[in-house]
Chain A
């Protein structure tokens, strides 16, 4: 190993031979090469990691400071035609915890948290005892409270943004607007029908965060959030309130089981009001029953009874089978077809066609119906939209029952002419009346605000027939008609009562559906109002007595709200000339 050099003369301590050592040349070169090799190895490894296979480390690096942030989008609003809020979302927080971490809280912290989220300390402990790695402590916490909780800096307690839906109009529009579940999913009504439009799409952005969690820079493309579209309904909330409150009073006063009311604009087919009773408060849905949830006006069918008479009679007029003043013998108040007998509730003698409508004679209508071929009657009902869902896009809408004409027996044709053996929903009935309110054409009804009047619908009757039928309907609310209580002071109105026996288990029971459908003002029809009250239980059950007054109040209020000038006040206006200046 070492080479001993020849000692210089003498031997001194500092000249120890050990210190006189010298390395052989190849050895230092060897070390140099080894070091070079190691450096090369390191370099190539660095090159490999930095250039060739850099994904893994890049990702690790990014995860230290790059963050993907979701930008939440809010659900669209639902408003009435004038922009009044019917459903609005507002941000809330949900408080959640990782139980294993959260159990390290001390007693005082737990007490504070429990107090803020309105839980008993024992309940909170119960939730935190879970073995899962994620539990909700409380959802839908107001942001202010959530901020205070965040301020406590509790271990293992986290927050997530979410939305809560408010329904300022509450039970008034509950059936129409519907409601959403906790995770912003529409469950009923418009919320369900327009889920796709209402739902917002959250955006995303990638950012660099610094040590303190501040966002320092945007990296790459950001995807902006798309808020849900606002839905503007055709509803006018003033008219809706009128319909709702009057319907509610009538149902309670008559001890009825349920009721529905609809107001339709005859120019545009817009549904200005759609009210149901019983209803519920969509803001607090703890105790909900199926009865309350049902949107009867759209999803329930009933046998409409006499409210269908005008259609059959109009078809008779249209086909020239009868005239306005043709006399029909309705004595002695019953008629036998096959084995069945049809009765009038009050026997009448000879009646003109107009009086058949005015007095609502089953016998008279039957006689007119039997002059008509079944096929033409079926075609008329079909054109009016019976037997088919009205295509509102509403969940659960039904088409009712209209059997094919080929299987009709004469007795069935007769009963159908006055609204039995056929079932319709209230919305279909209201829609069919637009044919009489307009010039014989029926228009589609719309839940959404329409900006333009419908130019023309499906022609069912000639304008002349519609006009004649309107003048007959006007007789119904005058003295001698079935519904003087439906009259609206100041306006000329027309309508038809319906008092139908209810089918129960295949037989007609002593339970009734009282209804009234009417049109106003007669000089230039603007509105159709349909009212239906199910099983009035306070003694009276005639449509004119029960549904008539509701119609009158709703119609009066709606006409006033829309600013439709009265068309039956010529004397009053003439009598007040000197007061006009003061008004």
Chain B
């Protein structure tokens, strides 16, 4: 009887320790997940900022200015236009 109780006690203690480690590991993993989610949020923010930056660089007035002044582009006259596509 006493021996059985001892074995059961041992099992209970082991289970308890197992729960503790499992809980600890779960929390560690959860923290890692949190960290990654925070990173997702930050990358999202950065993506938004980059989008803003891109559209600021790509504003039409700026494109036109560069095209006309730096690249010296101009519209071809109507006489120099032709319809492509062989129709």
For B87, the chain A residues whose CB sits under 8 A away are 565
Give per-residue flags for B48-87: 1 if the beta carbon is below 8 A from chain A beta carbons, else 0: 1101100110111100100000000000011101111011
Which of A89, A143, A166 counts the most B-chain CB atoms under 10 A from its CB? A166
CA distance A76 to B84 in the complex (A): 40
Among A88, A217, A237, the residue within 8 A (CB) of B51 is A88
Q: Does B45 contact A (CB under 8 A)?
A: yes
Interface residues of A (CB under 8 A from B): 74, 84-85, 88-91, 143, 166, 168-170, 172, 214-218, 237-238, 241, 245, 489-490, 565-566, 569, 572-573, 576, 579-580, 583
Residue tally, chain B, CB below 8 Å to A: 26
With A90-B48, A168-B55 already in contact, 10 other A-B pairs whose C-beta atoms are closer than 8 Å: A88-B48, A88-B55, A172-B61, A215-B31, A217-B27, A217-B30, A245-B64, A489-B77, A490-B78, A565-B87
For B84, the chain A residues whose CB sits under 8 A away are 580, 583
CA distance A569 to B83 in the complex (A): 9
Within the complex, what minimum Cβ distance (angstroms) separates A393 from chain B?
25
B60 to A, closest residue via Cβ: A241
Q: Does B36 contact A (CB under 8 A)?
A: no
Q: Dominant SS at the B interface?
A: helix
Among A143, A218, A245, A573, the residue within 8 A (CB) of B83 is A573
For B34, the chain A residues whose CB sits under 8 A away are 214-215
CA distance A166 to B54 in the complex (A): 12
CA distance A214 to B33 in the complex (A): 12
CA distance A490 to B83 in the complex (A): 11
Are A579 and B82 neighbours in the complex by a CB distance under 8 Å?
yes
Among B26, B51, B79, the residue within 8 A (CB) of A85 is B51
> Contacts A88-B48, A88-B52, A565-B83; is A245 near B61 (CB within 8 Å)?
yes
Among B26, B59, B81, the residue within 8 A (CB) of A168 is B59
CA distance A245 to B63 in the complex (A): 13
Within the complex, what minimum Cβ distance (angstroms) separates B55 from chain A?
4
Are A237 and B45 neighbours in the complex by a CB distance under 8 Å?
no
Within the complex, what minimum Cβ distance (angstroms) separates A275 from chain B?
12
Are B78 and A85 neighbours in the complex by a CB distance under 8 Å?
no
